[in-house]
Amino acid sequence: MKWYLVSVAACSLAIAACDKEPTGQVAAVVDGDEITFQEVNAELAGANIPAGATKEQAQQAALQRIVERRLLARAAQEEGLDKSPEFLVRQRQLEDALLVQLLGQKLARTTSVPTEREVDAFMKKNPGTFENRTVYKVDRIQFPAPENTAVMKALQADQSMASVVATLQKMNVKFDRQTSDMDSARVGEQRLKQILSLRSGEPFMVVEGGVVTVGVITGQQQVPINGADARPLAVQAIRNQSLSNSLRQRLAAEKAKAEIEYKAGLAPPATQKSGAAPGTQG
């Protein structure tokens, strides 16, 4: 009798799921699993909508992507992939990243709009981003940051790109070399001053994201941003800077009250140098 009652309850749930219909805020139902218009709108927010497409066409395309993704996700679950260690690690990464993004959006809503005086002062303090903006041509070499610290020490003594190439070849380091652009607006004033202070032909070196970049400026073109075009960019830059400061302060507060224990040898260094790296485009 107990088994019979359980079976009846299970069947009732299955029937109820099958009875779900896409009405109101529900755009579609996939085997009883509802897809809401809120999900469709979130999908549209990160999509490239073709020119000339109507709102209905965009919604249909976004909804179809969600349906297909939901079906493939269910297939992955049937394979047991949602129980694998790799999935659990990646799931935590994505959840953490999403929460940080939402925290940033919340803090951004409370960021005040800078005054005219603050905008003027910011533009004057960052001429490389506005009035003196320059796009530099760079002879660039890139390679993964080596575990052997001797490579980096050897490169610091090189005074030309030819010498850099010779050092890398001698130490059997594979690298990629090509011409790229470096926008002064993306470099940062302090880093730009360091690069421009080098003598002609002397390479600069930046390590960022596990990649070593060595380059020499070979040409330049003035691309100033003035007047009405500059002010909106300055406002956004000030707001981004304010948001970054807010996130750093929040992180410092969370670190202060958290109890963190590292395995021997994995603790971060007591002090860590940081600075803006020049943005290069291939």
Write down the domain spans for the chain. Answer: 22-108, 129-222
Helix (H, G, I), strand (E, B) or coil at 3: helix
pTM of the predicted model as reported, rounded to 2 decimal places:
0.63
DSSP 144: E
250: CB partners within 8 A, 6+ apart: 103, 107
Higher pLDDT, 202 or 8: 202
Fold of 129-222: Chitinase A; domain 3 (3.10.50)
The terminus-to-terminus CA distance of the chain in angstroms comes to 72
Mean pLDDT of the chain: 87
- Residue 19 has what pLDDT? 61
User: Is residue 128's pLDDT more than 70?
Assistant: yes
Instruction: Give the sign of the dihedral formed by CA 110, CA 116, CA 117, CA 121.
Output: positive
Return the half-sphere exposure (C-beta side, CA atoms, 13 A cut-off) of residue 13.
6
Packing angle between helix 37-45 and helix 55-78, nearest 10 degrees? Answer: 100
User: Is residue 12's pLDDT more than 60?
Assistant: no
Report pLDDT digits (tens) over 164-178: 999 999 999 999 999
User: Is residue 15's pLDDT more than 50?
Assistant: no
